[in-house]
Amino acid sequence: MAIEARGTRFTEALRAAWDVGDAVLPVDPRLPRAAAAALVESLQVGAPVERGVALVVPTSGTTGVPKGVQLTHEQIGASAEATSSFLGVDPARHRWLACLPLAHVGGLSVVTRAWHTGTPLEVHDGFDAAAVDAAARAGCTHVSLVATALARIDASAWARIVLGGAAPPPDRPSNTVATYGMTETGSGVVYDGVALPGVELRIDDGEILVRGPMVAARYRDGTPVVDDAGWLHTGDLGRLDDGILTVHGRRGDMIITGGENVHPDPVEQRLRQHPAVADAAVVGRPDPEWGQRVVAVLELSPGADAPDLDEVRGWVREALPPWSAPKELEVVDALPRTALGKVRRAAVR
């Protein structure tokens, strides 16, 4: 069953579908009608699903029609238990606010987490800063947000803020926790670098592998999500240091310049620390001499003057290897983003 994923109308319809044993495809209400129809057709709404499947969640792909990740009731429950345990959520004292898009796993998992644990829940139709602040005053204690929303609310009013999507700001409040995960993992599975209970991490040739009871097994088209040993090959590069995960970014995003590897994430994090920079994207573009050149695309802080290339290069070289310093600089009004605020590097390139 396909249901438009908007606010309490969606959550009520989702409960009703589950009560009669249906699986649900949440459809983003912002999609044009033709795109929504193509999604419903490609994910075979109406055709039988595997036993136990509760949700078919579209991936946040930026090209073509997204895949549908099949999540079972058991996997949803495992995610809810692991995240709630890590956060110390007590249904008698805490209350979740769901205000991220419910067509994406980052927003939808707030709802399913609250339901599974019996934690009180408030659902909004979308993010509105004034409404989020009002929810905190009315008793909500936990919320999932994207990093760009953090500066627009009173963060101190919350017991815990879960940040997903884009990388968090370097000076984020102490009551925030940064998550790593994807649709295939049912929500975040690594919080502030630490794997949730029951989650295993491994690095294979630089790639992050994840295994756990919340990880989906198959896509809607029947292709496997995990290998024969149950490991999800994320396509993300990273490292493990004493059990702490550092994510470098997508394998395809790595820049090779003059024979040196440059991971965009650390460069972007350094650029965000510059007082004139609100956000940054770092990409590689073809270069006849270097193979690829490092390009920094910046959103400026309100009222700030754009730094010049020499200043940006010096700023980066104070903290990172010299080959990480951008050789080209652009300033834009707004970086292209997904619905959850993550910068779309392919569009930047």
Q: Render pLDDT for 204-236 as a digit per residue (tens, 0 to 9).
A: 999 999 999 999 999 999 999 999 999 999 999
Q: Rounded CA gap, 202 and 195, in Å? A: 11
Q: What does the pLDDT average to over 40-48?
A: 91
pLDDT tens digits for 82-104?
Answer: 999 999 999 999 999 999 999 99
- Cβ distance 262 to 255 under 8 Å? yes
Report for 53-62, 114-123, 234-243: range of highest mean pLDDT: 114-123
What's the pLDDT at 38? 86
Q: In degrees rounded to 5, what are phi and psi of residue 182?
A: -155, 175
Q: Rounded CA gap, 112 and 341, in Å? A: 21
Query: How many residues make up the chain in this entry?
Result: 349
**C-alpha triplet 155, 82, 7: angle, nearest 5°:** 55
Q: Which CATH code is given to the segment(s) 2-247?
A: 3.40.50.12780
Helix (H) or strand (E) holding 143: strand 142-146
User: Per the CATH hierarchy, to which homologous superfamily does domain 254-348 belong?
Assistant: ANL, C-terminal domain (3.30.300.30)
Mean pLDDT of the chain: 91
pLDDT tens digits for 273-317?
Answer: 999 999 999 999 998 888 889 999 999 999 999 999 999 999 999
DSSP helix/strand/coil, 181: strand
Total-model pTM: 0.79
Quickly list H helices, the chain: 7-19, 33-42, 73-87, 105-117, 129-137, 147-150, 264-272, 309-317, 345-348
Residue 57 has pLDDT above 60, yes or no: yes
* Residue 54, amino acid: A
Which residue spans within 160-305 are E strands per DSSP? 160-164, 176-182, 187-191, 194-195, 200-204, 207-211, 232-241, 244-250, 255-257, 260-262, 277-287, 291-300
Show Cβ contacts of residue 306 under 8 Å, excluding neighbours closer than 6 positions: 276, 298, 300, 331
- The residue extents of the domains of the chain are 2-247, 254-348
Share of the chain above pLDDT 90, in %: 73
DSSP helix/strand/coil, 40: helix
pLDDT band at 63 (very low <50, low <70, confident <90, very high): very low
